[in-house]
Chains A and B, each alone.
Chain A
Amino acid sequence: MTLQATDTLLNISNLSISFKSDDGWIRAVQDVNLQMAPGETVGLVGESGCGKSVTSLAIMGLLPRTARVEGEISLQGRNLTTLTDKELRRVRGNDVSMIFQEPMTSLNPILRIGDQIAEPLRMHAHLTSRQMSERVKELLAQVGIPNPARVMQEYPHQLSGGMRQRVMIAMAMACKPKLLIADEPTTALDVTVQAQILDLLRKLQEESGMSLLLITHDLGVVAEMCSRVTVMYAGKVVEECPVDDLYYEPEHPYTQGLLGSLPDLDKRERLRPIPGQVPPLWAMPPGCRFAPRCSRAMDICHSTEPQLLDVEPNHRVSCWLHQKGGTVS
């Protein structure tokens, strides 16, 4: 979607993220572009290490100080990369929230559930302790926790994985964010619990009108939840399209390979894996990063990086097969 400036909530342009290492700066994410409209659900997919979490931490302003961020991240027209820590904290509570990849490590083990949820409220809303406790109960009920009054008194280890994830969601919803970033919110959960949590996220989104950036490696979850999807490979965006196109008309050889390697529930055919493995950050090939594994690689692919360009309205691909300079064989 080519979004008008007015209906863009989030606009990431040319975002690059590097980390300092013994051998100098190592670039984990390069030239990522991503736009989101209000109320929209966008999926960010890709294999382990491709830069999904790092990208979302950059939006939140939560990268470690050893990281270098280039490019622009703007939320409602305001560039987040130039804000002070204090300003960022306000943005985090009021406008953007995040559910982190590991629910157990992101809940404080020695704090009662009620106090954990109250914390973000304390920073941003001025409530009496009575009002606070009511609000916490309300939030827990909203995420489908039975008996909120009792759960408030409990510690994280007393809850099941699904319940802990609900608590995380309640915390993230506490200040009614405009954008919720959910980093693998269901990866650690069983499918039946995953179904409950996805259902909950969908319901909360309908009620609040917030946008949802859903990070996952599960193309099934994307199909179910998202309207658009951005596919990353080795730190770069390789394809961006509506979910329908992702399944029916994937254009990038990596995306095609990913779909081909999934077991199909309807028929049992031999799987078609992508050969080889993702190159490590410090040994990225000079041209297209997928070239060493791509069955359609051409000479130019090994020397020059392709650009992310429109192949159709709403569908962008970074591949020489789709741009001048590459010869379609």
Chain B
Amino acid sequence: MTEALLRVSNLKKYFPIKRGVLRRTVGHVRAVDDVSFEVFPGETLGIVGESGCGKSTTGRTLLRLLEPTSGEVWFKDKNLSQLNKSEMRAMRQHLQIVFQDPYSSLNPRYKVGTILSRPMEVHGLYTPKQRIQRVEMMLERCGLNPSAKDRYPHQFSGGQRQRIGIARALTLNPSVLVLDEPVSALDVSVQSQIINLLEDLQEEFKLTYLFIAHDLSVVHHISDRVAVMYLGQLAELATSDALFSDPLHPYTQALLSAIPHPDPRAKRERILLSGDLPSPANPPTGCPFHTRCAHAMDICRKQKPVWREERPGHFVACHLYGSAVEGGIPR
């Protein structure tokens, strides 16, 4: 098996909750709570889960746009957690991020050409003339006319701005792209244009993607493997096909059953979850899903399930698997 390009181990990010005039810390939001996974070169790892489960925080913390509370992130043979600020800045050339909102992620006061060449300038890459050539090439690769460089972000549609955001991330020739909901703000017909573009760019530039989204059919389509998050923790991780055809975790099962299918004759057996998502400031003890799980047992309330490889390459954190319950796999 190939070596992982990125190794995330026991990553945690807690945000302090401050109250009162003295801004005393009264607790923590456990946005990312002990998450471990690997990303292999050239693959797309999807991360799904409901709003607030910690997807964006995972993406940002692993690039150290947010400082982790604890845990390690390895990029090839470099421990990112131990780099100092300037070393980390230099490292960002290889690890880029594209944000969800194509409207707010581009500075409205600069022309597109300036926005795209700035990162190369900051990293001291290429001559000014080469930078302009690169900007034009990337715009073209991303399906825009090179003359777009002389215009301002507001002159473009949502889909075009997302193309600009992707082009900007690619100017540095990175090996990893964290894509945080890159198509969520777009209409379906434009969304599919961007997805195809991402697939083409991945092949052309040998990119590795961490694709964060809450639209499950999009994630299924683009990902080689998919990780499911719930309340800051990983519930399940498997190849896209295994996860969607044979989900093991009761949460994944409920999530997948809730996807509306455009075929009106499609059979649906919906698992309706009761109750609301608990607060990540005050997560349930034991298994974080036990308050909504139809299979919850005593042990689920007391003990956190371990992250285990139930089948080759198929990881799950649930007491229904392993030694806790004999043969009690729900179907």
A-side residues, CB < 8 A to B, are 47-48, 160-163, 190-196, 198-199, 217-224, 243-244, 246-247, 257-259, 261-265, 268, 270-275, 277-278
Contacts and interface: CB of A to CB of B under 8 A. Distances in A.
B254 interface: yes
B232 to A, nearest CB: 15
B154 to A, nearest CB: 13
Contacts of B240: 268
Contact of A195 (B222, B264, B272): B272
A224 B217 CA distance: 16
A123 to B, nearest CB: 31
20 contacts: A47-B188, A191-B214, A192-B50, A192-B273, A195-B258, A220-B262, A223-B260, A223-B261, A223-B266, A244-B264, A244-B265, A259-B262, A261-B189, A261-B191, A262-B188, A264-B221, A268-B221, A270-B199, A272-B192, A275-B193
A263 B262 contact: no
B187 A47 contact: yes
Contacts of A163: 276
Interface centre among B260, B268, B276 (most CB of A within 10 A): B260
Contact of A191 (B189, B220, B258, B263): B258
B264 A223 contact: yes
A262 B215 CA distance: 12
A264 B263 CA distance: 10
B50 A220 contact: no
B217 to A, nearest CB: 5
A262 B262 contact: yes
Given A192-B273, A223-B260, A258 B217 contact: no
Contacts of A161: 51
B91 interface: no
Contact of A261 (B188, B255, B260, B266): B188
Nearest to A191: B258
Contact of B51 (A190, A217, A268, A273): A190
Nearest to A268: B221
Contacts of B190: 273, 277
A221 B261 CA distance: 7
Contact of B263 (A160, A198, A223): A223
Given A191-B259, A224-B260, A270-B196, A265 B217 contact: yes
Interface centre among A47, A191, A244, A259 (most CB of B within 10 A): A191
A131 B50 CA distance: 39
A227 to B, nearest CB: 9
B196 A191 contact: no
A232 B214 CA distance: 26
B261 to A, nearest CB: 5
A259 B265 CA distance: 15
Contacts of A275: 193
B188 A162 contact: no
Contact of A263 (B50, B195, B260): B195
A247 B220 contact: no
For the complex of A and B, the 4 pairs showing the least CB-CB separation, nearest first, are A220-B260, A263-B221, A261-B192, A273-B192
